């Protein structure tokens, strides 16, 4: 079976891969984590574009049927360039599905987006949401420390909750939104901490599941439940660390010796 390629700046995209595997259990995948150059969220758009084109080229060399950009920053900075560079290959990002889910979920159409510095600065979610509903109001905030915490495995407890309060309390103190978009694939790892400080009625959108649905719709993959598909693991640095932290995101144990280190 021709695999689907998935890349992210690190292990955060494993939340997208998990959703893809749940939706397409018989499909094979190749996952590339660009761990040597993490994080993307503090890099310039030009640098993120260059890194993304290199990640895509590495996956395309291994023959893939579809490319999933499982990184919000890369989706914001490089999605159109990737589509232009590879016109015959379906290229799917995480921002459009997440924006669509937020617009559908919000009764007030006041939507908050938290993401990396680069994603917020580029305005990708704001533009996508307001393209779908011009009357929507979008409150956004960069929460870059969440990425480092997720990569370190500091996802629960007093420290995680204190950082979540620091980032989120200003958003929900006055005229609060009713929907919160987790605009970085690392952020679902901190879901418990985020949920503990966000008002209980607020709908939290994780674009992983909606991205998986978008892949099914656009690629038309038929996935009967039978023999489980395989995953090939690639990283640009630190196989042991990738396996340790990736196991937390994926919900299953990864072996360091199963991860191939590649040079982009």
Q: What is the 3-state secondary structure (H, E, C) of the chain?
A: CCCEEEEECCCCCHHHHHHHHHHCCCCCEEEEECHHHCCCCCCCHHHHHHHHHHHHHHHHCCCCCCEEECCHHHHHHHHHHHHHHCCCCCEECCHHHHHHHHHHHCCCCEEEEEECHHHHHHCHHHHHHHHHCCCCEEEEEECCHHHHHHHHCCCCCHHHHHHHHHHHHHHHHCCCCCEEEECCCCHHHHHHHHHHHCCCCCEEEEHHHHHHHHHHHHHCCCCCCCCCCCEEEEECCCHHHHHHHHHHHHCCCCCHHHEEECCC
Catalytic residue among 55, 66, 143, 184: 184
- The structural domains of the chain, with segments of one domain joined by +, span 4-93+210-261, 95-207
Alpha carbon 260 to chain centroid distance?
21
Q: Is 3.50.50.60 the CATH classification of the domain at 95-207? A: no
Q: Is 1.10.10.10 the CATH classification of the domain at 4-93+210-261? A: no
Active site residue 66: no
- Tokens 């990737």 label which residue? 82
pLDDT in tens, the chain (264 residues): 899 999 999 998 999 999 999 889 889 999 999 999 988 988 999 999 999 999 999 999 999 999 999 999 999 999 999 999 999 999 999 999 999 999 999 999 999 999 988 889 999 999 999 999 999 999 999 998 998 898 888 899 999 999 999 999 999 998 999 999 999 988 988 999 999 999 999 999 998 888 988 898 888 755 555 688 999 999 999 999 999 989 988 888 999 999 999 999
Do 95-207 and 4-93+210-261 have the same topology in CATH? yes
User: Cβ(111)–Cβ(179) under 8 Å?
Assistant: yes
Report the pLDDT value the prediction gives residue 210, as an integer from 0 to 100: 87
Active site residue 71: yes
Catalytic residue among 55, 71, 143, 223: 71
């Amino acid at each position: 079976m021709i695999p689907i390629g998935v890349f992210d700046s690190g292990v955060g995209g494993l939340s997208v891969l998990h959703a893809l595997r749940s939706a397409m259990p018989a499909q094979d995948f190749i996952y590339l984590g660009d761990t040597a150059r993490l994080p993307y969220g503090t890099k310039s758009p030009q640098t993120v574009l260059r890194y993304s084109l290199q990640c895509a080229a590495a996956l395309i060399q291994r023959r893939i049927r579809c490319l999933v950009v499982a990184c919000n920053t890369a989706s914001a900075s490089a999605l159109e360039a990737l589509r232009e560079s590879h016109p015959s290959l379906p290229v799917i990002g995480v921002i459009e599905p997440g924006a669509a889910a937020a617009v559908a979920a919000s009764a007030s159409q006041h939507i908050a987006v938290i993401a990396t510095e680069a994603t917020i600065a580029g305005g990708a979610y704001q533009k996508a949401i307001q393209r779908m509903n011009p009357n929507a109001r979008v409150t956004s905030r960069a929460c870059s420390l969440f990425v480092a915490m997720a990569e370190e495995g500091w996802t629960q407890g007093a420290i995680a909750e204190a950082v979540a309060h620091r980032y989120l309390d200003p958003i929900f103190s006055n005229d609060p939104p009713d929907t919160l978009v987790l605009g970085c694939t690392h952020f679902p790892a901190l879901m418990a901490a985020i949920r503990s400080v966000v008002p209980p009625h607020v709908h939290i959108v994780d674009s992983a599941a909606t991205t998986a649905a978008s892949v099914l719709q656009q690629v038309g993959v038929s996935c009967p439940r039978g023999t489980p598909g395989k995953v090939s693991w690639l990283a640009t640095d630190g196989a042991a660390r990738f396996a340790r932290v990736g196991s937390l995101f994926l919900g299953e144990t990864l072996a360091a010796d199963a991860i191939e280190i590649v040079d982009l």
